[in-house]
């Protein structure tokens, strides 16, 4: 399939209720925060992980839709698949550590990885970790998601009814009934920006079918990611800007500025507790000519 022929940007809004959208391992798994503003953060890596997980569920490892970066995956084994599939012999001295001297053969290895792994042709990858398949820059990039308003992290103790030993059962103090703690925020609406380069898609083969899969992933990925730690998470808005040509018709920041997220009038002094507390508008008049706006949610 041919690569996409248009540049895109998108604004993605999602929310969390009584959950931890992205724990910070450097802060005891507390929700990530901007220390200056107390706005919540969700990393691009976290969002890409959820996209990968959705693709795994929908495509179930079908041809062309394997996932390169998955839990406990041995990357060198993934790279070796390309060498063996293309029947490229290992170098007598360096084995698979260096790309073939023949540039065409080296490109075949990278192209094979792009064709077979959805996340390689989507997000790119550095594939030179001992078994070398080169590196590729992906057409899809996402920025950190930031909450619209400051969020208030809470730490909640979790207790249990059962105990593990007879000695604990004899203890009437209840001290051994505490089994852990959960970190949550009561509510947060997060905004993320995404960029899709058609020129980079030409190098990886990212197609229109892949693009449709990406949209489905963003719309549905939270529906298959529910967990006690994450509470209720939902995709709320996916606003897509499509340029008429491959290089684009306007700077991305101009398009992002056209999307306004504001608290409902008269409610600014109370904490937000649902998506209904916000109003999302797109200033279509501010969108330059040559760019089409579509609201997919």
Q: Which two tokens stand for residue 75?
A: 């990357």
- Mean pLDDT (whole number) for 215-229: 91
Provide the percentage of residues in the chain whose pLDDT is more than 70: 93
Q: Which two tokens stand for residue 148?
A: 């619209």
- Mean pLDDT (whole number) for 152-160: 81
From the CB of residue 180, how many other CB atoms can be counted at a distance below 10 Å? 9
List of residues 6+ apart from 193 with CB closer than 8 A: 9, 10, 11, 12, 142, 143, 252, 256
Does the residue 53 lie in any domain? Answer: yes
User: What whole-number distance in Å separates Cα of residue 264 and Cα of residue 272?
Assistant: 10
pLDDT of residue 206: 96
Does the residue 237 lie in any domain? Answer: yes
Total-model pTM: 0.90
List of residues 6+ apart from 190 with CB closer than 8 A: 13, 14, 15, 16, 21, 40, 42, 145, 146, 147, 148
pLDDT of residue 91: 77
Give 213's pLDDT tier (boundaries 50, 70, 90).
very high
> pLDDT for 115-147, tens place per residue?
999 999 999 999 988 899 989 999 999 999 999
**What integer best gives the mean pLDDT of the chain?**
90
pLDDT of residue 227: 85
Q: How many domains does the chain have?
A: 1
Does the residue 233 lie in any domain? Answer: yes
Q: Residue 136: which of 86, 84, 195, 202 has the closest Cα?
A: 202
- Mean pLDDT (whole number) for 7-25: 95
Does the residue 147 lie in any domain? Answer: yes
The residue range of the domain holding 191 is 8-61+141-151+183-295
Q: Concatenate the DSSP letters of all residues of 119-160 into one string.
A: HHHHHEEEEESSSEEEEEE-SEEEPPEEEEEE---EEEEEE-
Does the residue 133 lie in any domain? Answer: no
pLDDT of residue 179: 65
pLDDT of residue 285: 92
Q: Hey, which of 70-84, 207-221, 228-242, 270-284 has the most confident mean pLDDT?
A: 207-221
- Mean pLDDT (whole number) for 14-38: 92
Residue 35, pLDDT above cutoff 70: yes
Give 170's pLDDT tier (boundaries 50, 70, 90).
low
Residue 46, pLDDT above cutoff 80: yes
Does the residue 135 lie in any domain? Answer: no
Residue 177, pLDDT above cutoff 70: no
pLDDT of residue 215: 97
Residue 174, pLDDT above cutoff 80: no
Does the residue 231 lie in any domain? Answer: yes
pLDDT of residue 61: 82
Does the residue 117 lie in any domain? Answer: no
140 contacts 85 by C-beta, under 8 angstroms: no
pLDDT of residue 268: 61
> pLDDT for 52-68, tens place per residue?
999 999 998 889 999 99
- Mean pLDDT (whole number) for 170-179: 62
Residue 17, pLDDT above cutoff 90: yes
Give 178's pLDDT tier (boundaries 50, 70, 90).
low
User: What whole-number distance in Å separates Cα of residue 59 and Cα of residue 262?
Assistant: 37
Residue 163, pLDDT above cutoff 80: no
């Amino acid at each position: 399939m041919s690569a996409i022929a248009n540049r895109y940007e998108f604004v993605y809004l999602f929310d969390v209720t009584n959950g931890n959208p992205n724990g910070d391992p450097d802060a005891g798994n507390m929700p990530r925060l901007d220390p200056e503003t107390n706005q919540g953060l969700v990393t691009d890596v976290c969002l890409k992980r959820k996209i990968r997980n959705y693709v795994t569920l929908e495509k179930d490892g079908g041809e062309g839709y394997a996932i390169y970066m998955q839990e406990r995956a041995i990357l060198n084994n993934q790279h070796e698949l390309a060498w063996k599939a293309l029947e490229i012999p290992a170098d007598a001295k360096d084995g698979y550590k260096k790309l073939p001297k023949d540039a065409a053969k080296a490109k075949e290895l990278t192209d094979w990885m792009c064709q077979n792994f959805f996340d390689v042709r989507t997000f790119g990858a550095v594939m030179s970790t001992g078994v070398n398949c080169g590196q590729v820059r992906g057409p899809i990039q996402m920025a950190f998601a930031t909450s619209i308003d400051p969020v208030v992290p809470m730490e909640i103790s979790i207790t249990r009814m059962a105990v593990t030993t007879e000695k604990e059962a004899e203890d009437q103090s209840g001290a051994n009934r505490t089994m852990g703690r959960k970190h949550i925020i009561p509510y947060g609406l997060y905004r993320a920006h995404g960029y899709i380069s058609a020129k980079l898609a030409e190098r990886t083969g990212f197609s229109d079918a892949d693009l449709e899969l990406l949209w489905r992933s963003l719309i549905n990925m939270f529906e298959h990611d529910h967990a006690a730690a994450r509470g209720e998470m939902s995709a709320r808005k996916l606003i897509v800007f499509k340029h008429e040509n491959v290089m684009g018709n306007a700077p991305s920041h101009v398009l992002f500025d056209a999307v306004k997220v504001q608290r409902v009038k008269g409610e600014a002094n109370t904490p937000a507790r649902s998506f209904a507390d916000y109003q999302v508008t797109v200033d279509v008049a501010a969108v330059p000519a040559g760019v089409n706006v579509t609201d997919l949610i």
